[in-house]
Each structure stands twice: as C-alpha cells, then as structure tokens.
Amino acid sequence: MKYKVVYEYVENSTKGMYMMKADLAFINGEVITMDKNSRIVEAVAIKENRIIFVGSNLEVKQLIESKTKVVDLCGKTLLPGFIDSHIHLPMYGLNQLSISCKASYKKSIDDIKQELRKKAKTVAKGQWIRAWGFNETTIKENRYLSIQELDEISTEHPIMITRTCGHICLVNSKALEIAGINSQTSNPDGGVIERDSNGDLTGKLIETANMRMNEIAKYTEKELRQAVRIASDHFVQAGITSIHEAGVSDSDTYRLLQEAVKNNDIAVRVYAIICTLNNSHEFVEKMLAAGVLTGTGDERFKIGPAKIFTDGSSTGPTIATREPYTSDPNNHGILYYSEEEIYRVLGEAHKKGYQITVHAQGDRAIEMYLNCVERALKEHPREDHRHRIEHAGISTPDLQERMKKLGVIPIPNPPFPYEFGEIYVNNYGERVNYMYPVRDFIDKGIICAGGSDAPVTDYNPLIGIHTAVNRKSSSNSEIGLNQKVTVMEAIKIYTINGAYASFEEDIKGSLEVGKLADLVVLDNSILRQNQNCIKDLKVEMTVIDGQIVYKNEAVVRA
C-alpha cells in the first residue's frame, strides 16, 4: 500500500508540478541524480518529505515562492543520501562509550595500558572496562597484550579489549572467571580459547569464543539508548541517510533499535538484518519461528534478511580460504558451520520467503554459501529473491560467475583496503587482486552495494568511494589496482545499489520526482576533485525526509 501511495503522489506532483511550491530548493549545483541515465543537473526541489523536481535552474524558479528556503550550491555536489549496506550501529555507538585503541596517538602497549589504568580509577569494582579498535600490526611492539599485563591493571574489574575486526578479544582473569572459562574449558565450535605452550590461558578469545564473551560483557539498556543516538548522529554527519544494520549483540539490542526509531531518537533509516553476533543461527531460527519476515516495516525501519556467520575476519586473519594463507601454510581459517548446517538454517529461511545472507569473507566460505543458494533455488525456485552475501572478501572469477548466475548481491567493503591493505598482501598474497572486487562485479553485471562494516573501519562513505576509485592503502600501497572503478560507479554502490539490496529502489537511492527527500551536500565538486583527494571532501549538509538534519556550520561559513 505504501508504494501505491508513492506512485499516486508522483502522478499528482508531476501533473501539478508548477502549482505546487517547494519548501526547500537547491540551485546552481553539481546534482548527481543516480537515475537510470546518470543525469547530472543543476537543481532539486523538495515539498514535505518528497522530491518534487529535478532539473535546471531556470525551471526550478517556478516552484520557488517567498516561503521556500533556497540553498545556492555554488557548484558543489549534491547527491542522494549515502546508504551504508553493512554497518553495526549499536556496536559503533557502544564503542564510543569505551576506550578507543584506534586513536592515532596510541602507538604502544604502554599507551593503551595507561588509558586502561585511568579508566579503572573511575569505574566501580566489578564493572566492565572495555576498549576497542586494537590492531597489533599498527602498534610499536607488534603484539597482543598478555593476560598478565591486563591483570596488572586490575583483578577486580573485568577487562575486555576488542580487536579492530570485532572477531577477537583479549580479556583478563576476572573476565574469564565471570565467563566460567578455565584452562580445562574446551574450545567452542568455530572458536578458540587460546592457551600457551604450558596450557595456560592467554586471555585471547577467537571467533565464537569472542562472540560469547561479547554477550557476557553486556552493556546496560541506558548505555545502549545513549549509544544508538551517538551512532546515528555521527553517521548523519557523514551524509549517511540509510543503513543496513548488519548484526547486533542480542535480541534486547534489536528491540532497543526499534524503540529508538519509534521515539525519533535516531534519524537514519534502518534495514535491520536478522542476526546476532553470538549464535547467529539460533537468533535466525527464533525469528523464523516467530514469523518475523523480511520487508516488514516502513520507510524508517524494515526487517532485513536472515543472516548467519560462516567464517572469520579478513584481518584476524581467520577467514576460511581454499588455499592456505600466504603468511602461514598451515592456516585455512575458521568455519562457523558446516555446509549442511548453513543449508538447514538458511534453506529454511529461503523456503519461507526471507531474503538470506551470510557473513562470508574467504573463498571457501563464499563457495559453501553459494552451494546452499544454488540448492535452495533448485528445490524452491523463487524470482527476485535478492539473496546477498556480506563482505564477499576473496571473490575469485569462478565465484563471481556463480554470483551472477544465481542473482546473488555481494556487499563488499570498499574502504577495507585503505586501512588493512598491507595486512591483506601479507596474508593473502596475489589474492588481493580479487578482494572486494568491485570492478569485476560491475563488468560482469553483478549488482553490488557497499558497506563500511563500522566500527571495523571508518564509517565515512567518502573513504569508501575514495578507496574504490584509487585502491590504495592509507600508506599509499597499491592493493589490487585492477579493481579500480570510476567515481560515478563508486557513488552508485553507496546509493541506488544499496536501495536495491533492501528492495527499496522505488523510494530512495536516487534523486527522482516522488522519491524520499534524502540527500547530502558536499563542500566541493566530487567530479572535478582530484581523485586522490576524494576522502578529504567534507559533508556540508544532510537532509532526511525533507528535513535538514545536519549542517556543518564551519564549512558553510568558510
């Protein structure tokens, strides 16, 4: 019914276009519409929460009256609002409440220890001390902290340091005690409780062992409410108007996310993938049993696909590969489930009409999932299923062919090579030429959409676009130059293709009459910008539902 209403509105507004006056109009811009013809025009007009005009400066004048707010873009870029098709909103927000190991001034283990010690003084005994964004490859000592070092900070507070990938953590003895883990505890399926050569616990928890600890180190509902607001504010400031929430810590978080939308606490639109980080199959099964179906909801919140984790992290490295890692001939990574188990859960979801997806980074994990999709479609054929694959890390040509044939939408992470490029070259060698292969996807006619996977890496879509265009790391290493795309192609995967991946291309993702008025203004022209400087562009204004939800006063005044 919602869609019908939209169409009626379009018809009326087109017919009566010159009678209807705009609330908000943008003129003199480099307006990149991302419509079917990739038109670039000068002006856009908005009435209430819809776009009522896209075209020339001359024509838009007829829609402007004294009450219309007119923004002169002076040649700057105006785009459809960015869609991040794979991001973790509550997790990002919660990290903002804890210690960041990402901050550039923290360059050594001592720096991190100092921050933890400071925090221990302010936090009540028994309460958690958490840090995130740890990356052993970017700190001076090039190693993890030991459990002894963490116990020196405190034995009365549980301490948890989450690695930048979110798939590995370090904890102290108090945290292990709370989790009931001792040296006799066996490794969970798909995970490792690391021990040293004497069999003593090192405090390092990998994959499912980490995910379980994540659930134990739970935040309060008050913290969660605060976290989702912070995250939405940050995303909006980066021009993100819609997100695909890629997985929450538990069902309480899934509920609080909906509550935040209902209470207007968050501005971004949410396509909420059915997935929890720990025991993702159980959560999917519960939601299937409850009959919570993909697509239910409205323009602000919709239920997304059913998703489970199949392998690990690209930087861990813990992804499941067909050939061993270049850095370690004995390592093929970690699988969470067997192919039969993946099919049991997601085959059922497919049969019941859900969109399905998996976290799959390595070529072995991707292949297993594609086998499942193929089998599901054979047994229960379905048109326009839009089944996805999150990350699609190492997508070799044979896997790309199968994605194309099966109609699977990969959701690569274009910004990953920017932060992690050198780690990829070290662990996967030549395979970097097929990592997040956006060029290949486009050339094969595979529709793909981009996600930052924040807090894993920076949520700024301009870094994603920048890296898709340049394929260089932050230290300027070339990471699979064969996958470079044009600026317009990169924008497409952050706008209309994201809308397609959530079945919403009729209402958003491009600037067209009748669509939702979600848009972003940059502080310069993205098409005339030096391609090596795209990441330096700033967002000047973000509009969601026709409302200016963010304005960078500093830039506007400059």
Q: 160-199 mask for Zn ion (x: CB under 5 A)?
A: ----------------------------------------
Whole-angstrom distance, CA of residue 411 vs CA of residue 278: 21
Pairing between strand 301-309 and 269-274? parallel
CB of 393 to Zn ion, least distance (A): 11
Q: 399-438 mask for Zn ion (x: CB under 5 A)?
A: ----------------------------------------
What 3-state DSSP class applies to 209?
helix
Report residue 131: phi and psi, to 5°.
-135, 160
Number of neighbouring beta carbons within 10 Å of residue 9: 16
In this complex, which beta carbon is closest to Zn ion, that of residue 139 or of residue 257?
A: 257
CB of 347 to Zn ion, least distance (A): 23
In this complex, which beta carbon is closest to Zn ion, that of residue 129 or of residue 246?
A: 246
Among candidate residues 357, 372, 376, the one with its CA nearest the CA of residue 309:
357
In this complex, which beta carbon is closest to Zn ion, that of residue 163 or of residue 174?
A: 163
CB of 86 to Zn ion, least distance (A): 6
CB of 287 to Zn ion, least distance (A): 18
Q: How many residues bind Zn ion (CB under 5 A)?
A: 2
CB of 207 to Zn ion, least distance (A): 13
Whole-angstrom distance, CA of residue 493 vs CA of residue 410: 11
Piece of the chain touching Zn ion by CB under 5 A; list 32-40, 238-246, 346-354, 422-430: 238-246
Among candidate residues 424, 81, 435, 411, the one with its CA nearest the CA of residue 246:
411
In this complex, which beta carbon is closest to Zn ion, that of residue 106 or of residue 387?
A: 387
Whole-angstrom distance, CA of residue 333 vs CA of residue 239: 36
- CA 84 centroid distance within chain: 6
Number of neighbouring beta carbons within 10 Å of residue 267: 20
Number of neighbouring beta carbons within 10 Å of residue 36: 9
Piece of the chain touching Zn ion by CB under 5 A; list 72-80, 243-251, 363-371, 374-382: 243-251
CB of 166 to Zn ion, least distance (A): 7
Among candidate residues 252, 251, 234, the one with its CA nearest the CA of residue 243:
234
260 touches 268 (CB < 8 A) = no
In this complex, which beta carbon is closest to Zn ion, that of residue 307 or of residue 492?
A: 307
In this complex, which beta carbon is closest to Zn ion, that of residue 159 or of residue 308?
A: 308
Going from the C-alpha of 220 to that of each of 88, 139, 398, the distances in angstroms are 18, 31, 46
Piece of the chain touching Zn ion by CB under 5 A; list 364-372, 423-431, 447-455, 519-527: 447-455
Going from the C-alpha of 151 to that of each of 111, 116, 135, 453, 529, the distances in angstroms are 16, 11, 20, 31, 50
Residue type, 309: F
Q: At what angle do helices 363-379 and 397-406 cross, to 10 degrees?
A: 20
Going from the C-alpha of 268 to that of each of 28, 497, 502, 506, 547, the distances in angstroms are 27, 17, 15, 18, 12
In this complex, which beta carbon is closest to Zn ion, that of residue 89 or of residue 511?
A: 89
CB of 326 to Zn ion, least distance (A): 24
In this complex, which beta carbon is closest to Zn ion, that of residue 452 or of residue 483?
A: 452
CB of 246 to Zn ion, least distance (A): 4
What 3-state DSSP class applies to 306?
strand
CB of 262 to Zn ion, least distance (A): 25
Piece of the chain touching Zn ion by CB under 5 A; list 145-153, 173-181, 449-457, 522-530: 449-457
In this complex, which beta carbon is closest to Zn ion, that of residue 34 or of residue 456?
A: 456
Among candidate residues 172, 126, 181, the one with its CA nearest the CA of residue 151:
172
Piece of the chain touching Zn ion by CB under 5 A; list 126-134, 264-272, 361-369, 448-456: 448-456
In this complex, which beta carbon is closest to Zn ion, that of residue 278 or of residue 470?
A: 278
In this complex, which beta carbon is closest to Zn ion, that of residue 421 or of residue 451?
A: 451
Piece of the chain touching Zn ion by CB under 5 A; list 266-274, 292-300, 446-454, 512-520: 446-454
CB of 453 to Zn ion, least distance (A): 4
Among candidate residues 290, 295, 298, 294, the one with its CA nearest the CA of residue 262:
298
473 touches 480 (CB < 8 A) = no
The one among 23, 42, 207, 453 contacting Zn ion by CB under 5 A: 453
Whole-angstrom distance, CA of residue 30 vs CA of residue 78: 6
Rule CB under 5 A: is residue 458 a binding residue for Zn ion?
no
Q: 499-528 mask for Zn ion (x: CB under 5 A)?
A: ------------------------------
In this complex, which beta carbon is closest to Zn ion, that of residue 79 or of residue 358?
A: 358
Rule CB under 5 A: is residue 246 a binding residue for Zn ion?
yes
Rule CB under 5 A: is residue 303 a binding residue for Zn ion?
no
Report residue 492: phi and psi, to 5°.
-60, -40
Piece of the chain touching Zn ion by CB under 5 A; list 262-270, 345-353, 452-460, 503-511: 452-460
Whole-angstrom distance, CA of residue 342 vs CA of residue 378: 16
Piece of the chain touching Zn ion by CB under 5 A; list 58-66, 68-76, 304-312, 445-453: 445-453
Report residue 375 as tokens. Answer: 């089998």
Report residue 360 as tokens. Answer: 């799959």
CB of 395 to Zn ion, least distance (A): 16
Q: Which residues have a Cβ under 8 Å from the Cβ of 138 and sit 6 or more positions away? A: none
In this complex, which beta carbon is closest to Zn ion, that of residue 358 or of residue 373?
A: 358
Binding residues for Zn ion, rule: CB under 5 A, are: 246, 453
